[in-house]
Structure 1
């Protein structure tokens, strides 16, 4: 898998899955993004957990940081298999994340997600290609999504 620099990866990851203001619209109940996902830094020193909910919200934990975001995501992938996702951080506890930074409330990011055929992994990319991606994000099974 391709990886961005650790710092860039963490910044993208912490603010990942973006939304333009107010509350996000609901996501269809069988969308592949729904659930709990983990991402581990390449050196194994820290991991982030994303609880992605059908109401268009995400709860993110990264080291001591706890953040919440609103997101939108394409209902279906494009012809190359990517889902465009937009995410906006709406709350943050002000503590340090895996990169040693605090994510700024209001930060928005657009990403392109590419799911593995199993539905249990995805890459998060800066563009609709795999040259600048972080991941894999691994699905956590057997845990509530809320």
Structure 2
């Protein structure tokens, strides 16, 4: 039996098919990125089930995330995010992200585990951050 297109879309939007992350993976948690040039904040709620909720200015997006269980020899974790649902509003950069968009990044954690850089390649030449772990009353 073939699945219908609406069913496939609904499953993708619900996060079905997302691969669970190890519960102790350092990426699991809530992270905040300040974007001072846009006077804006982004929040990433990354769940152990392999899904994430991202808010950025007016944008609210749901994604799946695949990330290496261990870093490479230089400390970078390769990650792939796929947008499965988006409210169609602009993010901190004024862009609107469409469902289906794939974002490949390399994550480099600070030794404390409470900050990370998100980079375009496994080096520090083109990165954003730091993203800072949200703890305490913000959760």
TM-score bracket for the superposition, by shorter chain length: 0.7 to 0.9
* C-alpha distance in 2 between matches for 1:125 and 1:109: 11
Say yes or no: does 1:115 pair with 2:109. yes
Say yes or no: does 1:41 pair with 2:38. no
Q: Where do 4+ consecutive residues of structure 1 move more than 6 Å?
A: none
SS in 1 for 2:83: strand
Say yes or no: does 1:106 pair with 2:100. yes
Say yes or no: does 1:58 pair with 2:52. yes
Aligned to 2:68: 74
Q: Which has the larger radius of gyration?
A: 2
Aligned to 2:84: 90
Gaps of 5+ in 2: 1-14
Displacement of 1:24 in angstroms is: 1.6
TM-score with structure 2 setting the length: 0.85
Gaps of 5+ in 1: 1-20
RMSD: 1.4
TM-score with structure 1 setting the length: 0.81
Higher relative contact order (CA 8 A, sep 6+): 1
* C-alpha distance in 2 between matches for 1:131 and 1:22: 35
